[in-house]
Amino acid sequence: MQTITKIAELQEKLNSWHKKGESIALVPTMGYLHEGHQSLIRKAYEQNDHVVVSVFVNPTQFAPEEDLEKYPRDLRHDQLKAETAGANILFTPSVTELYPMNFNSYVKVGDVTEVLEGLTRPIHFQGVTTIVTKLLHIVQPQMIYFGQKDAQQLVVIKKMVRELNFSVKVIGCPIIREEDGLAKSSRNIYLSPSERQAAVSLSQSLKLAKAALINGQRTSHKLIKIIVQRLEAEPLAEIDYVKVVDTQTLKAIDRIDQTALILLAVKIGKTRLIDNLLYQK
């Protein structure tokens, strides 16, 4: 695996693959790679000739009060994790490489970015769609991989790709969890031991909702009540939102018939965690 920091060097390398008609996959990440990221890289490796993993803590998706500065970074760790999962190139550009002086061009997707995460993090998705667009133009992959962990992000990217006619296939991959159910996340390292214990309430609440769904409970407010009750039993948990929404429009639905997304965001101490359940009949 080769680690590359410059766009020009990356494109030179990719050109030879493009010319030979070999397929290239892109897995965008913010680094501090774990098994969640690795599952995306493995899938990309299975389905393509070459895999580019980008590691870039993207400043435009963080609000000033968020954790941009303290977000965990460890290049050696990422090189090892990416290589063992099957990456051919680790692209680790600097901020100025991707955002030169006077950068002022953004990609904005409407409606689906203005709900859920968008309410608490109003500039977040514009940063995400802008960086993903830049990476797509730089790498020109046939396939791009995202985790269901960030369910709204996946919906936003799919909509952007569809509506702006990007010629890339977007692949969503299932959530990888710790043994006790906590969704793996680079931000989990912020949790103190007691917070780490409390954080299991997120996946446990979704598990209860799933059991109720399987038993025939289809009314959104009743499912939300089950989730909220479990979360409220956890003194360290502070609910931001619990929503049952349509899987494409992200609009709230009253009843679940065929498919639905149940999404939640919860603060455990100072750390904001998200999790979700994709229900497909």
Catalytic residues: 37
Among 48, 186, 220, 271, contact with ligand AMP (rule: CB under 6 A): 186
The answer to whether the beta carbons of residues 263 and 274 sit under 8 Å apart is yes
229 contacts: CB under 8 Å, gap ≥ 6: none
Part in contact with ligand AMP (CB under 6 A); list of ranges 36-44, 67-75, 99-107, 131-139: 36-44
Among 10, 24, 26, 29, contact with ligand AMP (rule: CB under 6 A): 29
Counting contacts by CB under 6 A, is residue 273 touching ligand AMP? no
Residue whose CB is less far from ligand AMP, 26 or 227: 26
The nearest distance, CB 203 to ligand AMP, in angstroms, is: 11
Counting contacts by CB under 6 A, is residue 201 touching ligand AMP? no
Counting contacts by CB under 6 A, is residue 146 touching ligand AMP? yes
Counting contacts by CB under 6 A, is residue 185 touching ligand AMP? yes
Counting contacts by CB under 6 A, is residue 223 touching ligand AMP? no
Parallel, antiparallel or unpaired: strands 271-280 and 50-55 = unpaired
Among 121, 134, 149, 159, contact with ligand AMP (rule: CB under 6 A): 149
Residue whose CB is less far from ligand AMP, 39 or 133: 39
Q: Is the dihedral of CA 194, 149, 274, 256 positive or negative?
A: negative
Q: How many residues are present in the chain?
A: 281
Among 150, 195, 234, 275, contact with ligand AMP (rule: CB under 6 A): 150
Residue whose CB is less far from ligand AMP, 78 or 234: 78
Residue whose CB is less far from ligand AMP, 177 or 218: 177
Q: How far is CA 269 from the centre of its chain?
A: 22
Measuring CA to CA, which residue among 280, 207, 214, 272 is closest to residue 246? 280
Residue whose CB is less far from ligand AMP, 27 or 138: 27
Where is 134: in which H helix or E strand? helix 124-139
Phi-psi region of 237 (alpha: psi -120 to 50; beta: other; left: phi over 0): beta
- Alpha helices, H only, the chain: 7-19, 35-47, 75-85, 95-98, 117-120, 124-139, 151-163, 193-214, 220-232
Question: What are the structure tokens assigned to 176, written together?
Answer: 């990888």
Question: What are the structure tokens assigned to 69, written together?
Answer: 């500065």
Among 30, 261, 263, 273, contact with ligand AMP (rule: CB under 6 A): 30
The answer to whether the beta carbons of residues 98 and 139 sit under 8 Å apart is no
Give the CA-trace dihedral at 44, 264, 200, 78, to 10 degrees.
30
Counting contacts by CB under 6 A, is residue 36 touching ligand AMP? yes
Count residues near ligand AMP (CB under 6 A).
17
Whole-angstrom Cα distance, residue 12 to residue 141? 14
DSSP conformation class of 63: -
Counting contacts by CB under 6 A, is residue 183 touching ligand AMP? yes
Residue whose CB is less far from ligand AMP, 40 or 98: 40
What residue ranges bind ligand AMP (CB under 6 A)? 29-30, 36-37, 39-40, 146-147, 149-150, 173, 175-176, 183-186
